[in-house]
Amino acid sequence: MLSNRDIFAEHLSHMVKFPTVSHVDENQMDFEPFYQFHEYLEKTYPLVHKTFEKQVIGRAALLYRWRAKESGERLPVLLAAHQDVVPEGDYGRWKYPPYQGVIADHRVYGRGALDCKSMIMGQFEALEALIAEGYEPKQDIYLAYGYNEEVGTTTECPSARLICEHLKAQGVRLGLVIDEGGEIVSGSTAGVKGLLGNIAVAEKGFASMEVYKTGKAGHLAMPGHNCVMADLARVLVKIADYPRPYRVTAPMAMQYKLLAESVDEYKTYYENIDSHMDWLIPRLEADPRTGAKFQTTLAMTMASGSPSTSSLPERVSVSMNLRLLEGDTVEGILKDFRELAGEESGVKIELTAGRNPSPASEIDMGLFARFQEALDQIYPDIQVVPVICIGGTDAFYYHPICDRVYRFSGGRRHPDNGPSHGYNEAYSLETIGDIPQFFYHFLRQF
């Protein structure tokens, strides 16, 4: 049986002590904490290390494989997560130091406590317990932990891609990938009592852009007719007004259909949500978190102009980030924005980073039933539904070798869990057993 919460907390607290910070340029990363982290895993989970074959891919990615005695035609399952964390920022703003793994206020504090070492801890705890009980999988099980997920969309060498290429070269095709990205949430925003197990079956794309215009430096008393700031502003208004209508993608249509049985009101709307946009849209407008699952979003973030109030700017610019819904592409949006800007405005638009939306994975109801079965063991009142992930994950890289790439941590959203990339990241002791238990009950069915 699984060990208790104190053990999970102790192990997670130890894991955050390794400052496994990633950087877009691998050469600027300190890999020593990663190697120490590997040693810690080896020491803490001896049965996993005896049972699985372990390989290091690239500089520090971990790939483990448990060969099933008789897998027949059954395709392997791969559990993913990432070892790296984002930088801790200003030490002074942490209530407890980011790499000490302090357990206080019913939480484990530290960078990576939620994102994503809780998931590595949970997967290892589950497997260690299962092996101790004599469990034998009916197909191969892989564990895959990259080292640069947090910069995975901008680095030249995402380690998850290396893992995928390695598997592909060996002719491996996967039956299921489970990575971070979906979680257990309250059903209240969907109008449902109880909890929802949100399994993300696709993720949005993204595009970071800079919109800018160069001007002539000079004294503000003699500006002439040029005002590059206003030229930029005119283009920004057009971009802000660019239509990004709400749309219902297949996973969200399926989610509402599945929830139709569980709601008291609007059942007929839920059954066919895309025919009831008039009802849906005001609700999405009022709830940006849900709205983001139905729309390509646009956020303008950073503006710059002259460094002083008394000189004309040589260059004005605004940075923006878009999150693309299935059906939109980076290339298409960039082309449209450049057309909106027009040659004559002199305003230029550069793409600084971008990735198209992932393909949508097959929604396999048989597999969904297994997720349901596992979660039923932990929560009395939970319903599993598909969703789309609004952030980027390492799961993106596995689509070429798998039709069922699902994003689900097994963890429950809790006010004390997080903030993922912010100060005082923590994991609540109240929910610390969720991830180990989920993987334990889930894997037992394989």
**Positions in the binding site for Zn ion (CB under 5 A):** 115-116, 180
Q: Shortest distance, CB of residue 356 to Zn ion, whole angstroms?
A: 20
- How far apart are the C-alpha atoms of 211 and 314, rounded to whole Å? 14
Kindly state the tokens that stand for 123. Answer: 């997967």
Q: Shortest distance, CB of residue 116 to Zn ion, whole angstroms?
A: 4
- Tell me the β-bridge partners of 56: 62
How would DSSP label each residue in 412-434? B--TTSB-TTSTT-EEETTTTTH
- Residue nearer to Zn ion on the CB measure, 2 or 85: 85
- How far apart are the C-alpha atoms of 71 and 81, rounded to whole Å? 24
Q: Shortest distance, CB of residue 149 to Zn ion, whole angstroms?
A: 6
Cα 428–Cα 434–Cα 437 angle in degrees, nearest 5 = 145
How far, rounded to the nearest angstrom, does the alpha carbon of residue 59 sit from its chain's CA centroid?
Answer: 22
- How far apart are the C-alpha atoms of 63 and 77, rounded to whole Å? 13
Which strands form 107-109's sheet, in the order they lie side by side?
103-104, 107-109, 426-428
Q: Shortest distance, CB of residue 196 to Zn ion, whole angstroms?
A: 20
For the chain, how big is the Rg over CA atoms in Å?
Answer: 24
- Residue nearer to Zn ion on the CB measure, 88 or 180: 180
Q: Shortest distance, CB of residue 128 to Zn ion, whole angstroms?
A: 22
Helical pair 32-44 and 5-15, crossing angle rounded to 10 deg: 160
- Residue nearer to Zn ion on the CB measure, 291 or 391: 391
Contact 61, 167 (CB under 8 A): no
Q: Shortest distance, CB of residue 180 to Zn ion, whole angstroms?
A: 5
Residue (of 195, 338, 199) closest to 255 by Cα position: 199
- Residue nearer to Zn ion on the CB measure, 98 or 215: 98
- Residue nearer to Zn ion on the CB measure, 11 or 82: 82
Residue (of 93, 33, 30) closest to 425 by Cα position: 93
- Residue nearer to Zn ion on the CB measure, 125 or 149: 149
- How far apart are the C-alpha atoms of 82 and 403, rounded to whole Å? 21
- Residue nearer to Zn ion on the CB measure, 115 or 128: 115
Kindly state the tokens that stand for 308. Answer: 């002083």
Q: Shortest distance, CB of residue 87 to Zn ion, whole angstroms?
A: 14
- Residue nearer to Zn ion on the CB measure, 116 or 248: 116
- How far apart are the C-alpha atoms of 379 and 175, rounded to whole Å? 26
Q: Shortest distance, CB of residue 152 to Zn ion, whole angstroms?
A: 9
- Residue nearer to Zn ion on the CB measure, 116 or 318: 116
Q: Shortest distance, CB of residue 249 to Zn ion, whole angstroms?
A: 23
Residue with tokens 């003699």: 222
Q: Shortest distance, CB of residue 407 to Zn ion, whole angstroms?
A: 10
- Exposed/middle/buried for residue 379 (C-beta within 10 Å: 0-12, 13-18, 19+): middle
- How far apart are the C-alpha atoms of 288 and 298, rounded to whole Å? 12
Written as one letter, the residue type at 239 is I
- Residue nearer to Zn ion on the CB measure, 148 or 383: 148
- How far apart are the C-alpha atoms of 271 and 315, rounded to whole Å? 52
